[in-house]
Amino acid sequence: MNISTKPCVLITRASHQAQDFIDACQQLGYNTSHLPCIEISATDNTPDFDAIDSADLILLTSVNAIDYAHQMRPLPWPTTATGIGNVSTAWLAKLGQQRIQQAVPPFTSEGFIEQLKQSNIKKLVVVKGDGGRNIIQETCTELGIKCTTIEVYKRILPHHHSDDVDVLLASNPPTVVCATSNEVLNNLLSLVPIKLKPQLLSLPLVVNSERSVLLAKKLGFTNSVLVANPPGDKGQLQALQQINIALEQR
């Protein structure tokens, strides 16, 4: 396939998490454009170390949560820790955490809640980014579980000049978009110039959850929306491979 005819994937994740995924997309035969639609930075919060040490389980909701928690208090921690998905639990192990509860399918907050309902946990610590859903904390209240939330990072909408976004999308027009979260999807629509939105909304989309499928439809995406299975890089790359095969068969 000539470079000029290669499909192009628009990658929207934060800059510090993009390069490995960019390389993997290129290995699949894609050109890539990178428009960071989110930035991540540490909060000024001081973690409740007493809660961490006395908890029955610590849930770190993402790789970002693990990284910023590790900066505040280097792993390993004495309490059993877990993540929402296999990527998070693998990252915990890589950073030296020894007491790990493995994540179970379907690797979502709802899946963790079902696991929680069948446990004997009395004290839970949730390490996460600022904002976001509170479904786990609300469920803990219903179940009588003491839940302490520690927000270790914050998400920021990056600043991109509209002319720069215009040039980026015009120089290498995307044929598919990858988004990692609902916040990224919303930010993408905020950053893209109005004149380019019809083109963007007509593209196939790869996301990590059914919640993002619903949001994509609400935002006006009209093409197919594929959910990565499993959520994360591995599932997104598999979805991109499916799309690439379909494009080659046209």
Q: Kindly tell me the burial class for residue 44, based on how many C-beta atoms sit within 10 Å of its own C-beta (0-12, 13-18, 19 or more).
A: exposed
Mean pLDDT in residue range 210-229: 96
- State which fold the 3-37+158-248 domain adopts: Rossmann fold (3.40.50)
The token duo for 69 is 């928690």
Looking at the chain, the whole-number percentage of residues with pLDDT higher than 90 is 87
Mean pLDDT in residue range 53-57: 97
pLDDT digits (tens, 9 = 90+) for 150-166: 999 999 999 999 999 99
What secondary structure does DSSP assign to 205-249, as a single string? EEESSHHHHHHHHHHT--S-EEEPSSTTHHHHHHHHHHHHHHHHT
Domain covering 47-155: architecture = 3-Layer(aba) Sandwich (3.40)
Mean pLDDT in residue range 232-243: 95
Are the folds of 3-37+158-248 and 47-155 the same?
Answer: yes
pLDDT digits (tens, 9 = 90+) for 90-115: 999 999 999 999 998 888 899 999 99
**pLDDT at position 247, please?**
81
| Secondary structure string (H, E, C) spanning 60-94 | ECCHHHHHHHHHHCCCCCCCCEEECCHHHHHHHHH
pTM, to two decimals: 0.86
CB 205 within 8 A of CB 216: yes
Residues β-bridged to residue 123: 146
Q: How confident is the model at residue 3 (pLDDT cuts 50, 70, 90)?
A: very low
Mean pLDDT in residue range 153-181: 94
Mean pLDDT in residue range 44-65: 94
**Residue 158: CB atoms within 10 Å:** 13
**pLDDT at position 150, please?**
96
d(CA 233, CA 107): 14
The DSSP H or E segment spanning 162 is helix 162-171
**pLDDT at position 178, please?**
98
Q: How confident is the model at residue 117 (pLDDT cuts 50, 70, 90)?
A: very high
Q: How confident is the model at residue 4 (pLDDT cuts 50, 70, 90)?
A: low
The answer to whether residue 180 scores a pLDDT higher than 80 is yes
Domains of the chain, by residue range, sit at 3-37+158-248, 47-155
The answer to whether residue 245 scores a pLDDT higher than 90 is no
